[in-house]
Chain A
Amino acid sequence: AQSVTQLGSHVSVSEGALVLLRCNYSSSVPPYLFWYVQYPNQGLQLLLKYTTGATLVKGINGFEAEFKKSETSFHLTKPSAHMSDAAEYFCAVTLSRGGSNYKLTFGKGTLLTVNP
């Protein structure tokens, strides 16, 4: 089975401060991991993903995440928050590599607020 847990349904930071959004996964085999962002009244868009290879993954808008197998974590970070980063962020996992069972399981989301 695959599952993800996002710690903190709401995170608030000041503009310019470090952003840290936490995601832990549960799987019995190597996972593929994703972070998506959703701006108000829009669909989700991919920020970054880890499939294989380098464990530090860089995405769009200055975000990055590190896959840590020993901690079963895939936390999302950004060194300096910008007002435009205010959105809801979703972590997702899949164990499948195709076939009839290729689907993602999403966390419940973390709402990021950026204060001026």
Chain B
Amino acid sequence: DAGITQSPRHKVTETGTPVTLRCHQTENHRYMYWYRQDPGHGLRLIHYSYGVKDTDKGEVSDGYSVSRSKTEDFLLTLESATSSQTSVYFCAIGDLAGPLGDTQYFGPGTRLTVL
């Protein structure tokens, strides 16, 4: 399995509070992604990173921000959590080089509940 960890794995928080989710990789992959998964919507891209300090928005980026200060860590922040952000969040990593290029590897997910 690709070395990806997410923390925390479960979190319950209240509306209006800030929340930060962490994704950590040990594979030295260039690309990192944050998705949310909701019933009936599949996986939707929130933000992604194509290098240290290089990030861009996905299709559902409103209410979220990200930071990547080093290769191995990609942080997702909900500035002021809302109930609509209750979801399962997945981090993924990827790279283009080598026989396993063009493949994204997924972390185990973080289940976030906003009350």
Number of A-B contacts (CB under 8 A): 54
Contact A102 B42 (CB under 8 A): no
- How many chain B residues touch A (CB < 8 A): the figure is 26
Contact A100 B107 (CB under 8 A): no
CA distance A9 to B42 in the complex (A): 10
- How many chain A residues touch B (CB < 8 A): the figure is 27
For A80-97 the 0/1 string (1 means CB < 8 A from B) is 000000000010001001
Instruction: Specify which of B40, B42, B56, B96 is in contact with A100 (CB 8 Å cutoff).
Output: B56
Chain B residues with Cβ under 8 A from A44's Cβ?
43, 90, 92, 106
Q: Which residues of chain B from 83 to 115 have any CB-CB distance to chain A below 8 Å in the complex?
A: 90, 92, 94, 96, 102-109
For B42-61 the 0/1 string (1 means CB < 8 A from A) is 11110010100010101000
Least Cβ distance of A104 to chain B in Å? Answer: 6
Chain A residues with Cβ under 8 A from B90's Cβ?
43-44
Q: Which residues of chain B from 14 to 66 have any CB-CB distance to chain A below 8 Å in the complex?
A: 31, 33, 35, 40-45, 48, 50, 54, 56, 58
